[in-house]
């Protein structure tokens, strides 16, 4: 009888340990998936911003979370970080001429937590630059252990000056 109780105890401990290992593995997998989703969204947004700003004719104004520029077709346009609140931040693009021309660059699956554009004017040696810093999280796992915060920074040299 004692042997049966000992065997049941050993199997119970093994069951608890294996369940814990599986749970931690699934948690790590969810976090990795969330980080990939956030990174892909940010890479897409930065790619679009970089392509447009690199070929811009000029930067007309630059604020903390917005940059206005004249594109290669001499059309005013802008990029900005909209709704930087706990639950609603995203990166947007739009033309100043077309009121309905607002395009969301990041999906609703991620939330932009912080975002900044810093413009450096042209010098005799260096072209004008725009530095971008963005921090985002996965909307579905925000605040949980699987929460995936991703930060991305880049500096874009404008070519058409």
| pTM, entire model | 0.76
CA atoms of 51 and 46, how far apart (whole Å): 8
pLDDT of residue 85: 63
CA atoms of 88 and 152, how far apart (whole Å): 19
Q: Domain ranges in the chain?
A: 2-157
| Residue 161: pLDDT over 70 | no
pLDDT of residue 144: 61
Handedness of CA 56, 61, 64, 66 (dihedral sign): negative
In the numeric block, which tokens belong to residue 86?
């706990």
pLDDT of residue 29: 79
Taking residue 105's Cβ as centre, other Cβ atoms within 10 Å add up to 18
Query: pLDDT per residue over 26-81, tens digit each?
Result: 777 788 888 888 999 999 999 999 998 988 888 888 888 889 998 888 888 899 88
| Contacts with 27 (C-beta within 8 Å, 6 or more apart), sequence order | 145, 146
pLDDT of residue 145: 62
| Residue 160: pLDDT over 70 | no
């Amino acid at each position: 009888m004692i042997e049966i109780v000992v065997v049941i105890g050993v199997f119970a401990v093994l069951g608890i340990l294996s369940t814990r290992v599986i749970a931690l593995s699934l948690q790590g997998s969810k976090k990795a998936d969330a980080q990939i989703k956030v990174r892909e969204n940010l890479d897409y947004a930065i790619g679009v911003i970089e392509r447009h700003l690199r070929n811009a004719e000029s930067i007309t104004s630059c604020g903390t979370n917005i940059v206005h520029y004249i594109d290669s077709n001499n059309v005013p346009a802008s990029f900005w970080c909209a709704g930087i609140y706990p639950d609603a931040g995203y990166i947007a693009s739009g033309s100043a001429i077309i009121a309905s021309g607002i395009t969301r660059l990041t999906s609703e699956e991620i939330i932009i937590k912080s975002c900044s554009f810093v413009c450096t004017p042209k010098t005799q040696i260096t072209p004008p630059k725009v530095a971008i810093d963005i921090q985002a999280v996965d909307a579905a796992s925000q605040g949980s252990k699987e929460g995936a915060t991703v930060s991305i920074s880049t500096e874009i040299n404008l070519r058409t000056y």
